[in-house]
Structure 1
Amino acid sequence: MLDELKNLEYYGNKESLLFFICDVIGYGKIKSKDAKVVCEHAPGKKHLSVEDLTKYCLALGWIHLSDNRISVSPSIIHLLNDKEKLNDTLILSTVKQLFNEHILDSNMFFYDSVRCCYAFRNELLPLSLSTVRNMLISQGFLMPLRDTQGTRFHISPKYETLIAKYCKSNRKQFSLKILKEQIEQNEIAGEEAELFVLSYEKKRIGKPLCSNIKRISEIDVAAGYDIISFESSQSQELNRYIEVKAVSSSGFYWSSNEYEIARLKGKSYYLYLVELSKINEPDYSPEIIQDPAMNVMKSDRWLVEAQSYFIKHI
């Protein structure tokens, strides 16, 4: 939708925009050539570009063009008698569409603690959309500030709530997207690591017991471990509880539930740390830690960091 605005060489302003919508088009329909005549004879509007204004308003959905006749969109026609309310609505519409089309995002706004106001990172806006920025300046949404550091833009206090709303929504969508991608990547890595350990254990134990080794995480994700195996090929029962972790140099996460199960199982519980980049190497073996509740949590070899805390009244 906003592609039509890219590289549009339109140098209009708030007054010409509102004049075009409210006074030239108004409540009826007007032919494009007649709109040009109206502008040519209106005081101070002789150089107003009807063609560029039409492109601008069409791109943002404020007018309709049919059979070479221009009409105002029903969504704003009720505001034609109140230009300031109309201007606010046009700003809201512009900002909403810029966020929806990912031209604006929350990273483009920050709090200027020196000026005590919210500011806009103009350098992150595509140069091809400078027409939109200039119109937002004229409409009073952006306020330019020129100093020794160059030109910066602050958000008018009147529209801070509007920006806060869209920044919050944008961050939420972005966070959910990243979270979803991370979960999917972790699931893929986790499954690959578990399948490797399952194969590793079956080779370690050998026949006939290997057929009884189970990957229980496929069914019970809350068990606190992923694979149930045997301590040795001489074992009479499944007595090795294995939690598999696909690891990297950044470490790994261990849930409170997994820790509690490890603490209860003691020496029967194992962590298998798998480096996925090495599983195709001949004779690669995962790092195996028996009784991690003791040998990880109470060891000087490991740095354990609490990422968050659950707190409640007692």
Structure 2
Amino acid sequence: MELPETSMLNFFNKVLISLVELTPDGDSCSVDSLITHCKSFALGGVRGEYESVLNHCRVGGLISIKGKNVSLSTLGNKFLSANREKYFEITESQKEIIAERIVFKGAWSNHARELFEHFSANTQTTLYELSTVETSLPQNQNVTIHFFKYLGILKEENSLIQVHKKYSQLVYELTVDGKAISEQQLEHLLMENRKLGAQAENVVVEFERQRLIKMGKTIQSELVKRISIINTAAGYDIESFDGTTDEVFPNRFIEVKATTGEDIRFYWTINEREVAKKKKNQYWIYALTNFREDKPNDSLPITIQNPEHIIPKHDSFSIEVNKYLISEIAKVELTEQHIDELKWYQLE
């Protein structure tokens, strides 16, 4: 399916907001009534071609159409949640959802794959890039570039088009089957993720110390340590304590996973999984989403105890067995936990 005009993306909000207004109980309504409702008022003085807008929303997975009825999908609900003020203009968070869910993993991935086959990995900058001087692209891919620049996937400066670093891993995953990349190149591309991970580990160490102090376990809090810097083969990053006893031998082993995106998404190595199998309830994953280097403490940990057992139970995750990439594909139900003002979320 062809990419829509960038201006059409704003009408996605109008369609989904109208759908929610027509279905307050979360059920469905007729396609005709939704189109009539949307056409009853103009957006920015412009009336959209709503049959086409609905088709793009359907193909993108934002809505579900069965027969003559239409309903909001889980992804559509997530898309609307990224626009809490109910603006008709698409928000930056919504652009990220479109990029991650529809461009890289959904209906528009063929456009992304065809374009990124022309990009190469720069091992100095750890970015995928393309020179518009050295490379001549078909007209349809110039349209794709314009669309991806609008979404924030690409940026252009001095005839050099670069992929935003937060999408480097997704570009790699999308093109790896059709385009060879060396281990050294991949190592460079993942370097930024490791820097992010190290900072996230320090955040979790401090979180654990505060958790134990609030549980009255001051001595244990002083023994929490980050071991990934001295033993990369341990299968976890941090040694801590559950706080239920006064033992000074660690009994909580934490693997930290950080992502700049809002969804839970991480690679889990064979070694980490094997250690998790052995330690069972003593093994934890602490996932930090929306993690920012400039505001590291803004991300509350999502804790997963015994992940080898818990993660496969949830339909909200996809698991790519060959790479063991864990991805959140639908809204995950989390339980909020707290000790006084110290907060976190737990997957159960």
In which range does the TM-score fall when normalised by the shorter chain?
A: 0.3 to 0.5
Relative to the length of structure 1, the TM-score reads 0.41
Higher-Rg member (1/2):
1
Relative to the length of structure 2, the TM-score reads 0.37
Structure with higher helix content: 1
